[in-house]
Structure 1
Amino acid sequence: MRSTYEMVRDHYAANDRRDLAGMLADLAPDVRWTEMDGFPCAGTYVGADAVVEGVFVRLGSLFDNYTFTLERLLDAGDDAIGIGNYTAVHKGTGKAMNVRVVHVWGGSGGKIRRFEQFTDTLKVAEAMG
């Protein structure tokens, strides 16, 4: 059985390839995906379909060239922590953003069970306003 670290590493590799199926492959059917309050798609989404619609589609509708760049991935046993940057250009304002972010992932039973994002929502809001 693959570790949480390995599943998250593979998720980020799929993200780099723009491979949605690969990004979703290790999510548990009842994954709880939480985007930080103050972020454009703030809230907790349960299940892959909710994550795709509530997060990925929403961000794609608001931003051009939305990218997460992983700087470090830390193995914390059943958890993994990804540290990096979001970059994008807001479609409405044309303003670019480059925002630090931390993702905290939790896994068990060979599946990703939870995700939580921590980021500088003020910088995101500045790009949107």
Structure 2
Amino acid sequence: MSNADIIAAHYAASDGGDLAGMLAPLGPETTWTEAAGFPYAGTYTGPEEVRDNVFGAIAKDWDGYTFTLGDLLDAGDTVIGLGTYRGKHRETGRSFTARVAHVWKFDGGKVASFEQIVDSVPVVDAMGNR
């Protein structure tokens, strides 16, 4: 399985609401960075921290939060997913759409890091935090 195939499987799991499948490519040393300015900003290490601080928080705050993959770019040990986030905030009832890039880096066939690059303004606005 290529690095791009591993990330394609992550996104397929996301489409199916399969959190375990989404976390499967992450090892205990994998770092996951949510962008500064994003509501869940920070760097988390390992699947448990990502589950709790990213996906758990999103599930608590949003209805219908999705990532739609537009392009998956295979650059060997770097894989980039370009797409769109959408969701409706539970408290405010406001919806948003935001473009995003995910940069996945591999080391020895394993995910070493994930970095989110996103237009955070629509997300923050939907939360009523601006």
Name the TM-score class by shorter chain: over 0.9
How many residues align? The count is 128
1:23 aligned residue: 22
Considering only aligned residues, what root-mean-square deviation do their CA atoms show, in Å? 0.8
Shift in Å, 1:13? 0.6
Question: Within 2, Cα distance between the matches of 1:7 and 1:38?
Answer: 28
Shift in Å, 1:54? 0.4
1:43 aligned residue: 42
- 1:1-129 residue pairs with structure 2 within 5 A? 2-129=1-128
Aligned letter for 2:80?
I
Q: Any unmatched runs of 5+ in structure 2?
A: none
Question: Within 1, Cα distance between the matches of 2:22 and 2:59?
Answer: 16
Question: Within 2, Cα distance between the matches of 1:57 and 1:9?
Answer: 22
Q: Cα deviations across residues 13-66 of structure 1 (Å, max 9, x unaligned)?
A: 111111111111111221100000111110000010000000000011111111
Aligned letter for 1:101?
V
> Greater shift after overlay, 49-58 or 118-127?
118-127
Aligned letter for 1:11?
H
Shift in Å, 1:3? 2.3
Question: Within 2, Cα distance between the matches of 1:127 and 1:104?
Answer: 25
Conservation of the 8 A alpha-carbon contact between 1:33 and 1:44: yes
The 4+ residue runs of structure 1 with deviation greater than 6 A are: none
> Greater shift after overlay, 29-38 or 108-117?
108-117
SS of the residue aligned with 2:91?
Answer: coil
Question: Within 2, Cα distance between the matches of 1:26 and 1:59?
Answer: 20
SS of the residue aligned with 1:88?
Answer: strand
